[in-house]
Every structure is written in structure tokens, then in C-alpha cells.
Copies of this chain bind each other. A is one copy, B any other.
Amino acid sequence: MTPSFEAPAEASDVVRVLAADGSYAPSPTAERYLPLIDALTDAELETFYRDMVVVRAFDRQATNLQRQGQLALWPPSLGQEAAQVGSVRAARTHDHVFPSYREHVVVTTRGVDPIDIIRLMRGLTHGGWNPADHQNTHLYTLVLGAQALHATGLGMGLVFDGRTGTGDPEKDEAVIVYYGDGASSQGDVHEAMVFAASYNTPQVFFLQNNHWAISVPVSTQSRVPLARRGEGYGIPSVRVDGNDVLASYAVSKLALDEARSGAGPRAIEALTYRMGAHTTSDDPTKYRTSDEEESWAERDPIARMRAFLQNRGASASFFDEVDAAAAAYADDVRVRTNALGDIPTEIMFDHVYGDAHPLVQEQQRWLAEYEASFEEGNA
């Protein structure tokens, strides 16, 4: 396999608004998206920045907590903040969001408590939150690509129930599903696109091409841009600079609004980079060069947005305030992580079925009695 690093984020078809140095320099393909960006208020721009900084602090904290033995594992979102913030901020609160397992930025932005992700990675839960209580933000899915079909199925339901495509964006619901460059090889992602096209689902396929699937470069998954896949199903597809939060926002916004209007599914390939390890168990030095890592550090999504805001005249106190808020947020997570208790044994049996199930009940009873027998023994 040839190495994947050839600065594809600078390719001419890639939608970009901010250059790596933060200057406003829209690519020709960005033209149609500029009105969406012009419409953003200062507050919204600052929110984008704040989201990214806060979640990066959280992500760093979680990585440390894992090193301290508090978590089984941590998959860092480091470097992918712009792709995630841009796309998720483009979704409406009534939209439906299907993350894969690295979308910490996405789910916390939708109101998921970061401690719930911590609980997942600590081995206290397989889920962590109730999607219905968090703007239809669904659970992490660890089997790569599986969630793409769930998203499509939900989209089909929206179509069948007339919950989309009525022409009223305040009501029309849409779906966005996240997956990676590696996951894009799975049959389920293909079948999700087949069904999405067939049922004209109001759905955005959001692929974060972070250039690596653990140690495998994206060139192993595809020799041509992954965005081309969508076209094969008749799904309009774009490539966007995923380290540019404004571009990520705008392409996602347009795609979601087109999808909700009844125009059918859309696909986005966001070119970004996993700046950290795959997970805390991983050692990237085994498979990639520091040259590559450095070149991507120069395109850091947060630095870019910071420079942009600075150029626009944001005050130093704003950045200080955000940094402080981020530190406090991360501290809070640390404190609450350290306070996490045990989970009761019974929960292993409690929700296997929605209805009573004799075998499970019997085993639950047996284990309770068995454990009680030790306590008696100890008493």
C-alpha cells in the first residue's frame, strides 16, 4: 500500500473557507456555501470555537484519566473537532444523530453529559444515555458501520410518517450518521446507501476521513476520494476540509436542509486527521511518520479558528474566558470520574429483555443467592 499522505485536503474539489493560517480564503467550490457562513452571528462563531476548545480539554483530560487507570480505554477526538462541531451545529435539535465511537464533540454538543462517555469507557455501561433525552443523539456503536443502517432505517420511518419533506424546516426532521474512512469499507455502509437512495431518506452520511483506521492508511480502503462512493448511488457528495469548522458547518447545513426538504440523502467526506493515537492502547509511531503528524499539526482546527476570530477582532479576554471554561469543564469531569462508584451486579440481567424472561430471571436469582451465601459466610 502506498502511504496516504499527499496533502489531499488541499485538492481543488475540497470545500474550504479558512486557510490553514486562519485567513478567510474560500476555495472556488465554497462559493455556494458563503451565504450560510455570512449568516453566522458573532455569537455562533464564538460558540463553534468554544465547543472545540472545551471538548479538546475534556478529551485531554480523559486521555490522562485513562493513563491513571480510571478508564479501560480512550479514543481521542483530538484534531477532529472542526469536522464534528461544524457538522453537529448544522443539525437542528429535532434532527437525529448517529455517532460511531469517537464523536465526543458531537454528542456533548447535543447535551450528552461527558461523564456518560467516561462511564462507557470505564466499563460501567454499554450505553450511557437515553437518546430521547438528548436531542435524539443515539448511542455509540462499536461495530464499525452498523449504525449507518440504523440511521437509514430511522430516515425511512420519518418518510413513512410524513415527519420530513413537508417544506417546513422547523419541523422537517433529518438524520446525520458519522463513520470513518475504515468503516466505509464495510458492507453495511454500502447497504445503508442503497436503502437510503431507494427510500429517499432525509439523511446525511458524514464520513470523517482522518486518514487512518488504526494503523491502516486510507489508501488501503480506496485509491480514489471516498466521496465518489456516494455518487455511485446517485447520492450527491462533497469533500470538505474537515479542519475548517466554517466549511464543515456550511456543507453540513446545506446537505441537512436539502435532505429534510425531500431531496434525498447526501454524503460528505470531511478531510481531517486523527492527531492522537487511535486509542490509548495504540502506538502510532509504529506506522506513521512524525513529518506527517507535524504537517497536520499545522492545520490544527482550533488554531485556525482562533486566528480567524482574532483577525476579526475577538478580544484576548474572550480566549481567556474560553480557556478557563474549558479547564473548569475538564476539572469537573476529573472530579466526577474519581467519584464514580460501582455498578450493581443485577443490572447485567435487568434489561436484556423488555419482557420477563425465565432463564434470565432464574440466573439472576441464582447469582443473588450465591453472592449472599458469601456474605453470610463472611458475616
A residues whose Cβ falls under 8 Å from a Cβ of B: 1, 185-191, 194, 197-198, 220-224, 228-234
CA distance A250 to B1 in the complex (A): 32
Distance between A6 CB and nearest chain B CB, rounded to angstroms: 15
- Asked whether, in the complex, the Cβ of B187 is within 8 Å of the Cβ of A191, the reply is yes
With A191-B187, A223-B197 as known contacts, state yes or no: A229 contacts B228, CB within 8 Å.
no
CA distance A221 to B223 in the complex (A): 25
With A188-B187, A194-B221 as known contacts, state yes or no: A231 contacts B234, CB within 8 Å.
no
- Asked whether, in the complex, the Cβ of B224 is within 8 Å of the Cβ of A198, the reply is no
- Asked whether, in the complex, the Cβ of A234 is within 8 Å of the Cβ of B223, the reply is yes
9 closest A-B pairs by CB: A187-B187, A232-B232, A190-B190, A224-B234, A229-B232, A228-B232, A185-B194, A223-B234, A187-B191
- Asked whether, in the complex, the Cβ of A191 is within 8 Å of the Cβ of B185, the reply is yes
B residues within 8 A CB of A188?
Answer: 187
B residues within 8 A CB of A220?
Answer: 198
CA distance A187 to B191 in the complex (A): 6
CA distance A191 to B185 in the complex (A): 6
B residues within 8 A CB of A187?
Answer: 186-188, 190-191
- Asked whether, in the complex, the Cβ of B198 is within 8 Å of the Cβ of A221, the reply is yes
Distance between A173 CB and nearest chain B CB, rounded to angstroms: 22
Distance between A370 CB and nearest chain B CB, rounded to angstroms: 35
The oligomer's copy count stands at 2
- Asked whether, in the complex, the Cβ of A231 is within 8 Å of the Cβ of B233, the reply is no
B residues within 8 A CB of A224?
Answer: 197, 232-234
- Asked whether, in the complex, the Cβ of A197 is within 8 Å of the Cβ of B222, the reply is yes
CA distance A223 to B196 in the complex (A): 11
CA distance A261 to B222 in the complex (A): 21
CA distance A189 to B185 in the complex (A): 11
A225 — nearest CB in chain B belongs to which residue? B234
B residues within 8 A CB of A198?
Answer: 1, 220-223
B residues within 8 A CB of A197?
Answer: 222-224
CA distance A194 to B220 in the complex (A): 9
B residues within 8 A CB of A186?
Answer: 187, 191
A219 — nearest CB in chain B belongs to which residue? B198
Distance between A214 CB and nearest chain B CB, rounded to angstroms: 16
B residues within 8 A CB of A185?
Answer: 191, 194
CA distance A192 to B330 in the complex (A): 45
Beyond A223-B233, A224-B233, A230-B232, 8 additional contacts (C-beta under 8 Å) are A185-B194, A187-B187, A189-B190, A190-B190, A194-B221, A228-B231, A228-B233, A228-B234
CA distance A107 to B232 in the complex (A): 30
A234 — nearest CB in chain B belongs to which residue? B224
A195 — nearest CB in chain B belongs to which residue? B185
Distance between A194 CB and nearest chain B CB, rounded to angstroms: 5
Distance between A231 CB and nearest chain B CB, rounded to angstroms: 6
CA distance A184 to B178 in the complex (A): 24
Q: Which of A187, A191, A221 has the most CB of B within 10 A?
A: A187
Q: Which of A1, A228, A232, A234 has the most CB of B within 10 A?
A: A232
A145 — nearest CB in chain B belongs to which residue? B187
B residues within 8 A CB of A1?
Answer: 198
Distance between A361 CB and nearest chain B CB, rounded to angstroms: 35
Distance between A73 CB and nearest chain B CB, rounded to angstroms: 27
22 residue pairs A–B, Cβ–Cβ below 8 Å: A185-B191, A186-B191, A187-B187, A187-B188, A187-B190, A189-B190, A190-B190, A190-B191, A194-B222, A197-B224, A198-B220, A198-B221, A198-B222, A198-B223, A222-B233, A222-B234, A223-B234, A224-B232, A228-B232, A229-B233, A230-B232, A232-B233
